[in-house]
Amino acid sequence: MKEKDFEVETSDGLKKTFVLSKFPATEGRRIMTQYPISALISNTKIGSYDDQERLMLDLMSYVKVRLEDGREIPLKTKDLINNHCDDWEMLMKIEREMIVYNFSFFQNGKGLDFMQSLLALVVQSVTETLMGLSDKSSHSAEQL
């Protein structure tokens, strides 16, 4: 599996090295199709944070931390992530770098076009769903 080192500055000003791995094809597809949507839904209170957290844990399972003695530990659990990421900002930097590393269309600012297209699809889908529910509600009210 292809890997690359990613250095992050800790809250103490030290450098910590993480090893980022490429996703297998099917896992990459699953994460990519759910990650932006889960973030949008979670942030609009329609969905649950649990879905977004599960995807973060899936993504982070492809990250290892390199210890001073050279050993590498995969960050496969919430406890390992919390032990090796100083704070939420460090975690977000690693997540962002994993997205950029694994999905080439996020490199060089290309991701904005993709995200705008994805957002348009989400808005269209939500609008169609709400319109369908509104029509059903109106039809039910007319029968009363």
Pairwise pLDDT comparison (33 vs 71), residue with the higher score: 71
Strands (E), the chain: 3-9, 15-21, 63-66, 72-74
Reading the block at residue 136, the tokens are: 């059903």
**Residue 137 reports pLDDT greater than 80:** no
CB 55 within 8 A of CB 38: yes
pLDDT of residue 127: 78
Query: In this structure, are residues 4 and 20 in contact, taking their beta carbons and an 8 Å threshold?
Result: yes
pLDDT tens across 116-131, in order?
Answer: 665 666 667 777 777 8
The beta-carbon contacts of 115-121 under 8 Å, at least 24 apart in sequence, are 115/36, 118/36, 118/37, 119/40
Determine the Cα–Cα distance for residues 144 and 133; give it in Å rounded to an integer. 17
